[in-house]
Structure 1
């Protein structure tokens, strides 16, 4: 077996991770999507080449840094399957996703069998109908992915029932609305991929919860330069906030040299800048307190915020206040979804500078350009053609972009877990 010929240099690509959720809305995995800058929009051949390039240079990229504790679903074709690049992949962390159009030849089936014996799992995507070739592949498949955009609702129901009989795990792809999610939940789907969880559902008269109000009150104290005694008093009024603050400052993420047992010490060690950042993250953490772990909205918001901060640091070096504003823009950009309140109304309750408002409401200005780039990457399959122009506008290379993306993913998975 030989490695596939790779048309793209090892770092001549950018990537996105799309969350896969279980029936309880907890993170289960990520589909990793790669695009070569030499490719046209959604060019599958060059996307596969970029995937193979990433795998072959996994030591440089650090796949575990991208997916954290979750599973990573990665597209592979026959050429990649027949190669020797899998030695670079953490088999317990990876699901190899093949397409229904994969040539079902004896050598390919033999290689899939070999990889299964080495501990790899397989998902089958682009399934639109039953067929003899599909039946041959099903013997090797753990996950079946059905794309809601490509299959009529009646066929989704029929195929779901068929595959459930075969004890396969069903994954609904392109789940973009709550109605999509509810319908697939009723059909017995096990996992869900799409951005329905990040779509605002504005509810008139919606009120913030007591915990969210407590966090916003604290944010107001921190940003108004209130003294530490007032901040400590406010933290003590919410037991969960106090416990989480102590947990955070005693975590490996902060790296305190000695154990901290008092809230006053914790506030001093963390500092105002980090305290404000932690409070912004805590707004998204409330739904996770029931024991489900990091929610997808928390992961998306914190990753977006860190990504914008790192971009600002790279593009405006030495201007820490600019990086801080970029983080705030990223974390606030999903608050309309979090609260179920229109963004204009949120900004009336949480005063921000004009540059932040312009970015959040109109995606304009420097911070708006950063936010636009992050959103295009997140929704790579729909907005792939917009990424290259956004990079040119910011004079940012793909090499720098991937470096910052991986750092943002790693920061979210390592730091945010200590915030909840």
Structure 2
């Protein structure tokens, strides 16, 4: 329905799990429009802290959600954060003021959240909160629109062109027959945060492709594979998160093995994204893989884990199984250890 329709010119605060933050999904978001909220369920380890610093360098702002006290873990994580959201009802009246002052001295924006009545609002304002959020102002609103999904065969064809590093004219020719994707692409290109310094309206496919780039288009098309018009078989968020994680692991492994072969790395990423798509369509993976309009190397990897792509897929699956299986993953990458 369009980012500007949803946000109406304001910032979007997006709840994020650790796998989401480590994935490549942020590449299809307009960084200047979004604050990425690190959920309270996330482990605030060094790896996540470094990832948040990277995302901040890309233009995103990072918030810590549902904070009730400044623990040593949160204090160590503060350099990677722009905004602290304090769960106001869970914080004692005597502790609130000093906590807000300490956070503001550290250069953080402080949000008092879950403000439900006038008394809580006044206490948060008196304590020095920069922003206030809660049911006192408004209940959540649901925005509905008809869900339009591009034809999956056309998406596969476009992905094939992107993997093969086809020229812009061939990509634009393929897009010309995909009106739903073109509409989404133009919306994406017109969002602030894309490479459109003059802020002129993007109204042509050539201009849109130049604004978002082929890498962002590739990520967008990969995610579109997990949309479906039938709600009964539509994927759940955890499934998409796992597919993204698997694809990202395969991308890193491919770049480690063949650092100069970007097309191979893109194919590895696509293989990982496709490896769970059969669940959406309620089919066995072998059967579904044979129907995909892709190269035999990808189909072989999905159907029987054969070839170099199959080895990378097996390694990614072993990685998901836990630390006890990691030696097998190392063996499948020809004896080299991947960190």
Of 384, 387, 396, the match for 2:337? 396
Q: How far apart are the structure 2 equivalents of 1:282 and 1:295? A: 13
Q: How far apart are the structure 1 equivalents of 2:269 and 2:193? A: 18
Q: How far apart are the structure 2 equivalents of 1:228 and 1:62? A: 33
Query: Do structure 1's residue 243 and structure 2's residue 200 form an aligned pair?
Result: no
The secondary structure found in structure 2 opposite 1:257 is coil
Q: Note the 1:294-305 alignment, pairs <5 A.
A: 295-305=237-247
Task: Say how many residue pairs are matched.
Answer: 232
Q: Note the 1:9-408 alignment, pairs <5 A.
A: 17=18, 29=39, 32=42, 54=45, 60=50, 62=52, 84-90=72-78, 92=84, 212=149, 214-220=151-157, 223=160, 227=170, 230-236=173-179, 238=180, 241-251=181-191, 254-258=194-198, 259=200, 260-267=202-209, 269-270=211-212, 275-285=217-227, 295-379=237-321, 383-394=322-333, 395-398=336-339
**8 A Cα contact 2:52 2:62, kept in partner:** no
Q: CA deviation at 1:274?
A: 5.0
**8 A Cα contact 1:222 1:272, kept in partner:** no
Q: How far apart are the structure 2 equivalents of 1:60 and 1:276? A: 25
Q: How far apart are the structure 2 equivalents of 1:329 and 1:29? A: 29
Q: CA deviation at 1:88?
A: 1.0
Q: CA deviation at 1:284?
A: 1.9
Q: CA deviation at 1:275?
A: 3.6
Q: How far apart are the structure 2 equivalents of 1:344 and 1:212? A: 25
Q: Name the counterpart of 1:163.
A: none
Q: Name the counterpart of 1:137.
A: none
Q: Name the counterpart of 1:11.
A: none
Q: CA deviation at 1:304?
A: 2.6
**8 A Cα contact 2:63 2:85, kept in partner:** yes
Q: CA deviation at 1:364?
A: 3.7
The secondary structure found in structure 2 opposite 1:234 is coil
**8 A Cα contact 2:249 2:316, kept in partner:** yes
Q: Would the alpha carbon gap of residues 72 and 362 (structure 1) be closer, same or farther in structure 2, given more than 3 Å must change? A: farther
**8 A Cα contact 2:247 2:268, kept in partner:** yes
Structure with the bigger RCO (C-alpha within 8 Å, sep 6+) is 1
**8 A Cα contact 2:49 2:77, kept in partner:** no
Q: How far apart are the structure 1 equivalents of 2:150 and 2:49? A: 44
Q: Aligned Cα RMSD in Å?
A: 4.7
Q: CA deviation at 1:385?
A: 0.6
Q: Would the alpha carbon gap of residues 286 and 389 (structure 1) be closer, same or farther in structure 2, given more than 3 Å must change? A: same
Q: CA deviation at 1:312?
A: 1.2
The secondary structure found in structure 2 opposite 1:330 is helix
Unaligned runs of 5+ in 1: 1-15, 20-26, 34-50, 74-80, 96-113, 120-209, 399-420
TM-score (norm 2): 0.51
Q: How far apart are the structure 2 equivalents of 1:364 and 1:94? A: 51
Output one character per residue of 1:75-100: Cα deviation in whole Å (capped at 9) or x when no partner: xxxxxx9x8454113595799xxxxx
Q: CA deviation at 1:319?
A: 0.7
Q: Would the alpha carbon gap of residues 299 and 392 (structure 1) be closer, same or farther in structure 2, given more than 3 Å must change? A: same
Bigger drift between 343-352 and 247-256 goes to 247-256
Q: Name the counterpart of 2:125.
A: none
Q: Would the alpha carbon gap of residues 228 and 64 (structure 1) be closer, same or farther in structure 2, given more than 3 Å must change? A: closer
